[in-house]
């Protein structure tokens, strides 16, 4: 009998212990975790094997948690491709260039242009960073050599200004080529409809003399300018043109609607960025040309009825535009002249159409004029060297450069 009482007491004590264990388990279980699931915890101590586990950065407490696993990494830069760290002193260039606040940006832009953007955003790992005095590069030895050669082109000339003759001109008819073809050597251009040639300076002078005799030859920019090596300059001529873009019905204003005005800047913009070689015998240059012209304004009648004028209407305008977008990189010997023909395009400097009927203010049947756009680039040497006693006839050399690359 006593044995039965003892066994019953042991069973009661075991049941009470199980209930207490379940209550304790529910006290620390995270919200949403099913009962009986396996508990895991990250301990900030060494594992039994003696190695520290990889630390995981906890998600931000603000907003929703990140779904991407983020780690602190190994703490060292990967160099399985043989990357090396180099720092280039670019202060001899940057302290001389005062035409822009961040002259070192031109060095970075030319490096990216020469090597390609993808070379710094994939495999192998690369770093390119510049301050006003130092260019820091982390990449393979082959890339370091490319960067070093390019930086030398900036530092060797110490940002000295080079005089350039940059003419933006138009000719109404492209028949000027018939006499000039024998003077020009063609250069490869990728943009459809655009042609380019190289001329010796003596032949370029003959061509300009022939063009100036034509009544339809017009120059749209000041030809002479000073440009720091590697920097860019912009030549532009634009005008603002306003038009009625839209109307908004408003009962509290007279005549029951509000006119919305729009603006269009038409004209041309030419950007030129030259970079000379260390020995100044060759020129790399980026030429960008943009032309915007309003061909005509297409009228549209809009109904704007009011209680006083239920049949009231007003006119808005929809602009019909023409654009030119050109960007190419060229390389040519500095003792020769580059001539780029953009083709028959909209006039870089817009002019208002003249009426076909005298005394009538409406240009019946008038269309915007087109012309053959020419860009003529010639290097004149360093600005400090442009003195009368240093004029020498350039030698003609058989250069291996074939224009753009």
98 and 186 together in one domain: no
For residue 68, being part of any structural domain is answered with no
Length of the chain: 405
**Which range has the worst mean pLDDT, 2-16, 266-280, 324-338?**
2-16
Last residue in a domain, options 101, 129, 155: 155
For residue 66, being part of any structural domain is answered with no
125 and 232 together in one domain: no
Read off the CATH number of the domain in which 136 is found.
Answer: 3.30.1370
Greatest Cα-to-Cα distance within the chain, rounded to the nearest angstrom: 136
For residue 7, being part of any structural domain is answered with no
- pTM of the complete model: 0.73
Which domain, by its residues, includes 123?
84-155
347 and 243 together in one domain: yes
Split at pLDDT 50, 70, 90, the class of 254 is confident
Contact by Cβ (8 Å): 223, 166: yes
Last residue in a domain, options 137, 155, 173: 155
Last residue in a domain, options 155, 180, 208: 155
For residue 307, being part of any structural domain is answered with yes
For residue 189, being part of any structural domain is answered with yes
96 and 139 together in one domain: yes
Asked whether residue 221 carries a pLDDT value surpassing 70, the answer given is yes
How confident is the model over 331-350, as pLDDT tens digits? 999 999 999 999 999 888 76
H-helix segments, 129-200: 141-155, 177-180
Return the H-helix or E-strand segment holding 74: none
Alpha-carbon distances, residue 197 vs 141, 188, 244, 276 (angstroms) = 37, 8, 44, 19
Q: What is the percent of the chain with per-residue pLDDT over 70, rounded to a whole number? A: 73
90 and 175 together in one domain: no
Asked whether residue 308 carries a pLDDT value surpassing 50, the answer given is yes
Q: How many domains does the chain have?
A: 2
For residue 46, being part of any structural domain is answered with no
Split at pLDDT 50, 70, 90, the class of 98 is confident
Contact by Cβ (8 Å): 217, 211: yes
For residue 11, being part of any structural domain is answered with no
114 and 187 together in one domain: no
Query: What is the arithmetic mean of pLDDT over 363-389?
Result: 71
279 and 299 together in one domain: yes
For residue 342, being part of any structural domain is answered with yes
How confident is the model over 105-161, as pLDDT tens digits? 999 999 999 999 999 999 999 999 999 999 999 999 999 999 999 999 999 876 788
90 and 123 together in one domain: yes
200 backbone dihedrals φ, ψ, rounded to 5°: -70, 150
Q: State the burial class of residue 232 (Cβ atoms within 10 Å of its Cβ: 0-12, 13-18, 19+).
A: middle
pLDDT at 335: 95
Task: Give the mean pLDDT of the chain.
Answer: 81
131 and 169 together in one domain: no
18 or 401: which carries more pLDDT confidence? 18
Asked whether residue 249 carries a pLDDT value surpassing 70, the answer given is yes
Q: State the burial class of residue 329 (Cβ atoms within 10 Å of its Cβ: 0-12, 13-18, 19+).
A: middle
pLDDT at 66: 79
pLDDT at 223: 76
111 and 197 together in one domain: no
Residues contacting 28, CB < 8 A, separation 6+: none
How confident is the model over 72-91, as pLDDT tens digits? 888 899 999 999 999 999 99
131 and 259 together in one domain: no
265 and 380 together in one domain: yes
Asked whether residue 309 carries a pLDDT value surpassing 70, the answer given is yes
CA distance 281 to 287: 19
């Amino acid at each position: 009998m006593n044995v039965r009482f003892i066994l019953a007491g042991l069973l009661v004590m075991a049941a009470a212990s199980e209930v207490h264990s379940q209550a304790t388990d529910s006290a620390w279980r995270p919200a949403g975790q099913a009962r009986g699931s396996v508990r895991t915890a990250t301990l900030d101590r060494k594992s039994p094997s003696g190695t520290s586990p990889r630390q995981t950065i906890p998600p931000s407490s603000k907003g929703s948690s990140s779904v991407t696993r983020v780690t602190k990494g190994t703490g060292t830069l990967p160099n399985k491709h043989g990357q090396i760290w180099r720092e280039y002193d670019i202060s001899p260039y940057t302290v001389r260039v005062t035409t822009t606040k961040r002259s070192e940006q031109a060095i970075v832009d030319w490096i990216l242009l020469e090597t390609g953007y993808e070379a710094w955003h994939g495999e192998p790992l690369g770093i390119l960073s510049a301050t006003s005095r130092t260019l820091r590069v982390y990449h393979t030895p082959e890339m370091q050599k490319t960067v070093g050669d390019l930086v030398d082109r900036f530092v060797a000339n110490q940002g000295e200004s080079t005089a350039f003759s940059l003419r933006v001109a138009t000719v109404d008819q492209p028949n000027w080529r018939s006499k000039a073809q024998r003077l020009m050597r063609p250069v490869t251009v990728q943009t459809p409809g655009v042609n380019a040639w190289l001329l010796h300076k003596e032949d370029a002078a003959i061509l300009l003399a022939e063009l100036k005799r034509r009544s339809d030859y017009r120059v749209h920019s000041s030809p002479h300018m000073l440009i720091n090596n590697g920097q860019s300059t912009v030549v532009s001529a634009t005008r603002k043109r306003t038009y009625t873009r839209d109307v908004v019905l408003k009962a509290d204003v007279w005549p029951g609607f509000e006119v919305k005005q729009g603006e269009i800047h038409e004209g041309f913009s030419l950007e030129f960025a030259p970079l000379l070689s260390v020995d100044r015998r060759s020129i790399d240059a980026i030429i960008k040309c943009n032309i915007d012209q309003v061909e005509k304004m297409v009228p549209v009648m809009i109904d704007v009825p009011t209680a006083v004028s239920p049949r009231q209407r007003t006119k808005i305008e929809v602009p019909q535009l023409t654009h030119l977008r050109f960007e190419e990189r060229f390389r040519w010997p500095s003792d020769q002249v580059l001539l780029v023909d953009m083709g028959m395009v909209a006039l870089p400097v817009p002019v208002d159409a003249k009426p076909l009927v005298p005394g009538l203010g409406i240009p019946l049947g008038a269309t915007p004029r087109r012309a053959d756009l020419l860009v003529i680039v010639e290097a004149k040497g360093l600005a400090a060297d442009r003195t009368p006693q240093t004029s020498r006839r350039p030698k003609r050399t058989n250069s291996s450069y074939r224009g753009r690359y």
